[in-house]
Amino acid sequence: MRRIWDTPGGVHPPDNKAQSLTSGIGQLPLPEKLILPLTQHVGGAAKVCVSVGEKVLKGQKLASASASISAAIHAPSSGWITAIEERAVAHPSGMSAPCIEITCDGEDRWIECMGYPDYKQATPLQLRNLIADAGVAGLGGAGFPSAAKLDRGTHMPVDTLIINATECEPYITADDILIRERADQIIQGIEIISHLLGTPKTILIGIENNKPEAIAALNQQCQGTGIEVVSFPTKYPSGGEKQLIYILTGKEVPSGQLPADLGMVCLNSGTAFAIKRAVIDGEPLISRITTLTGEACDINRNYEILIGTPVSHLLEQNAFNPDLCSRLIMGGPMMGFSLTSSDVPLVKTSTCILAPSHTEIPDGDPAQACIRCGLCAEACPASLLPQQLYWYARADDHERLQAHNLFDCIECGACSYVCPSNIPLVQYYRSSKGDIVNARTAKATAAVARERFEFRQVRLEKADTVRETKREARRLATEQAKITSPTTTQSSGSSAADIIKAAQLRGSTRQASPEQQKAKLERTLMAAEMRLKEAQQRLLQATTNGSADQQTQQLASVEAAKRKVEQTAQRLTEVSH
């Protein structure tokens, strides 16, 4: 038996998994429309490579990865592209983002797929590109592009590959059911990853012991493969990447580093399945297993849903009663976020749709005072002091927050879960993190602005000196001329008149006619408007996937462009009157 390490903290919420496990993976009828956000993953938004009106086949690439950390998006069914525009997407803030809309033709016709059943012949790079091309991103909920994760693995020697089948969140059974029904394909996927990473010494599948069927299925499939199935006691949040690594190896990922720095790669079991599909069958990631559960739906089970299926379609098919529903959650009850509308699409990271009744998840009581009972500190898997963080968050004491390692908080919610005073601790941490990041970027932008200002000062000074030297040179030259050619003095009168005339002429040309001015201003205005539009586009991209840093920068450039447009328009009206 492999040794298991116990993580500090953790909680034991009722697991509520049985209700969605009464039947196997189901299929939904094809929805009328599919909506595919360009950002369903961590990293840059995918770049659209189709246009509105185009007919697409199932599996056809719609948008390609735009950066080293990004993922391609494919058509989950055949049909027409009917829109490429902003749509409401599943996001904690209820925002909208650029999406591609497909109106399905109902034929569900596949594009030709090129699989690589003989993957052992392929080089790691080829395999990596296959996975990247298939748009595989972490299916456990984080959505980190898998190719990028494996890249890190190929740059450094990997001795441990960890497959995360923990699924510690209550209610969710997507991994469980996938393993029960398709363990063989998951193992194939793991073997592909292992081959790609140069056969790591240790390959572990971590799974909580509340899934005996899945464990049995894995054990059966792993025989003779060298892959080890390690089950451990159920405790939330064992499925956090850092927690799982500690449970299985006793090693901690140092703060600010990645598992790859320890020679480890950790992938979700669903992701391993998607990788098998991508490599052996040549099928891109266009569907996933999503759990539909909660008392507000008559039927609780798992579905193999097409990415882009509207949540409302899923609910309608399962006799959803909105009057019963206390809130609609994407993800689990611990880390999932509430949806304000059911029109948003399911994406690659949608593990679960939870529609609880009012008795199941009642509206919270108002928060009481923190009695410093320390239950939160006992529950914290990262050994933080949540009550102190809460105190400092309320006081906006950023320094103390960072001294208490706020940024090591994984937002698992264990602290809020146990808090007897019902304090929404995680909410405080999230907003404090946001504030700190914003303050940092503001500082950085201020520094950039100052630098720019100083640079401009220097440039102006330089220009001044240049002008000064030129003037000096001219003066010297004229003096020289006076000395060398006394004859010019004769015609000095006429020449002076000439000069004056020439100067007047120059002045008049500079003083262009109103028509000319207007035309010029119009041109400037057009250019400024164009720049504004571009800047807005970039801002949009930055808000969907860029860092806070990029966002502030883009925001600033939009502001600048706007000002320019306004100024020009103003001048234009002045001129035309």
Partner 1 sequence: MAFKQVSSPHSHARQSTGQIMQLVLLATLPGLLVLSYQFGWGLLINILIATISAISAEALILKLRNRPIEFYLRDYSAVVTAVLLGLALPPLAPWWLVVVATVFSIVIAKQLYGGLGSNPFNPAMVGYVVALISFPIEMTTWVTPVSLLAADVSHPGLLESLAIVFAGNSPVDGVTGATPLDLFKHSDGLLVEQIYQNNSLFSAASFAGVGWEWANVAFLVGGLALLKARIFTWHAPMAMLGTLALMSMLFWDGGSSNSPGSPLMHLFSGASMLGAFFIVTDPVSSAVSNRGRLIYGALIGLLVYVIRAWGSYPDAVAFAVLLGNFAAPFIDNYTVPRTYGHGQSRRATDKETSE
Q: Whose structure tokens read 């950085």?
A: 444
**Alpha carbons 317 and 299: distance in angstroms, whole number:** 9
Q: Is 368 in the site for partner 1 (CB under 8 A)?
A: yes
Select from 88, 294, 275, 85 the least CA-distant residue to 173: 294
Please identify which residue in 187, 197, 265, 380 interacts with ligand SF4, judged by CB under 6 A: 380
Q: Is 486 in the site for partner 1 (CB under 8 A)?
A: no
Q: Is 342 in the site for partner 1 (CB under 8 A)?
A: yes
The two tokens of residue 493 are: 């009168």
Select from 344, 290, 330 the least CA-distant residue to 97: 344
* Binding span for ligand SF4 by CB under 6 A among 194-202, 343-351, 403-411, 514-522: 403-411
Is the CB of 37 or the CB of 381 nearer to ligand SF4? 381
Please identify which residue in 426, 535, 542, 558 interacts with ligand SF4, judged by CB under 6 A: 426
Amino acid at 500: I
* Phi and psi torsions of 60, nearest 5°: -75, 145
Please identify which residue in 24, 226, 322, 374 interacts with ligand SF4, judged by CB under 6 A: 374
* Phi and psi torsions of 130, nearest 5°: -60, -45
DSSP for 235-276 reads -BTTTSHHHHHHHHHS--PPTT--GGGGTEEEEEHHHHHHHH
Q: Whose structure tokens read 């799982």?
A: 244
- Judged by beta carbon distances under 5 to 8 A according to partner kind, the member of ligand SF4, partner 1, none in contact with residue 427 is partner 1
Please identify which residue in 6, 107, 298, 408 interacts with partner 1, judged by CB under 8 A: 408
- Judged by beta carbon distances under 5 to 8 A according to partner kind, the member of partner 1, ligand SF4, none in contact with residue 326 is partner 1
Quote the crossing angle between the two packed helices 425-484 and 386-394, to the nearest 10°.
50
**Alpha carbons 52 and 84: distance in angstroms, whole number:** 7
Q: Is 379 in the site for ligand SF4 (CB under 6 A)?
A: yes
Report the nearest approach of ligand SF4 to the CB of residue 4 (Å): 21
Residue 339, helix vs strand vs coil: strand
Please identify which residue in 20, 39, 421, 544 interacts with partner 1, judged by CB under 8 A: 421
Please identify which residue in 247, 384, 521, 561 interacts with ligand SF4, judged by CB under 6 A: 384
Per-residue binding string, partner 1, 230-249, x by CB under 8 A, is: ------------x---x---
Please identify which residue in 304, 343, 435, 549 interacts with partner 1, judged by CB under 8 A: 343
β-bridge mates for residue 33, sequence order: 103
Amino acid at 421: S
Q: Is 365 in the site for partner 1 (CB under 8 A)?
A: yes
Report the nearest approach of ligand SF4 to the CB of residue 551 (Å): 24
Residue 136, helix vs strand vs coil: coil
Report the nearest approach of ligand SF4 to the CB of residue 40 (Å): 24
**Around Cβ 53, how many Cβ atoms within 10 Å?**
8
List the 61-64 sheet strands across, edge first: 47-48, 61-64, 73-74
Please identify which residue in 24, 374, 434, 514 interacts with partner 1, judged by CB under 8 A: 374
Site for partner 1 in 16-55 (CB under 8 A): none
**Alpha carbons 151 and 43: distance in angstroms, whole number:** 15
- Judged by beta carbon distances under 5 to 8 A according to partner kind, the member of partner 1, ligand SF4, none in contact with residue 565 is none
| CA 91 to the chain's CA centroid | 10
Please identify which residue in 327, 518, 520, 571 interacts with partner 1, judged by CB under 8 A: 327
Site for ligand SF4 in 121-150 (CB under 6 A): none
List the 301-306 sheet strands across, edge first: 26-27, 301-306, 287-293, 352-354, 328-330, 337-339
Site for partner 1 in 77-106 (CB under 8 A): 94
Q: Is 329 in the site for partner 1 (CB under 8 A)?
A: yes
* Binding span for partner 1 by CB under 8 A among 98-106, 154-162, 219-227, 413-421: 413-421
Q: Is 544 in the site for ligand SF4 (CB under 6 A)?
A: no
Site for ligand SF4 in 342-371 (CB under 6 A): 370-371
- Judged by beta carbon distances under 5 to 8 A according to partner kind, the member of partner 1, ligand SF4, none in contact with residue 390 is ligand SF4
Q: Is 28 in the site for ligand SF4 (CB under 6 A)?
A: no
* Binding span for partner 1 by CB under 8 A among 59-67, 132-140, 285-293, 366-374: 366-374
Q: Is 321 in the site for partner 1 (CB under 8 A)?
A: no
Radius of gyration of the chain (CA): 31
CB 61 within 8 A of CB 371: no
DSSP for 462-487 reads HHHHHHHHHHHHHHHHHHHHHHH-GG
- Judged by beta carbon distances under 5 to 8 A according to partner kind, the member of ligand SF4, partner 1, none in contact with residue 558 is none
Q: Is 388 in the site for partner 1 (CB under 8 A)?
A: yes
Q: How many chain residues interact with ligand SF4 (CB under 6 A)? A: 29
| CA 97 to the chain's CA centroid | 12
- Judged by beta carbon distances under 5 to 8 A according to partner kind, the member of ligand SF4, partner 1, none in contact with residue 400 is partner 1
Please identify which residue in 98, 206, 333, 413 interacts with ligand SF4, judged by CB under 6 A: 413
Per-residue binding string, partner 1, 151-170, x by CB under 8 A, is: -------------------x
Q: What is the largest CA-CA distance in the chain?
A: 112
Report the nearest approach of ligand SF4 to the CB of residue 7 (Å): 11
Q: Whose structure tokens read 């001219």?
A: 474
**Alpha carbons 180 and 178: distance in angstroms, whole number:** 5
Amino acid at 494: S
Is the CB of 45 or the CB of 414 nearer to ligand SF4? 414
* Phi and psi torsions of 101, nearest 5°: -110, 130
The angle at the Cα of 546, spanning 541 to 548, to the nearest 5 degrees, equals 125
By CB under 6 A, name the binding residues for ligand SF4: 370-376, 379-382, 384, 386-387, 390, 409-415, 418-421, 423, 425-426
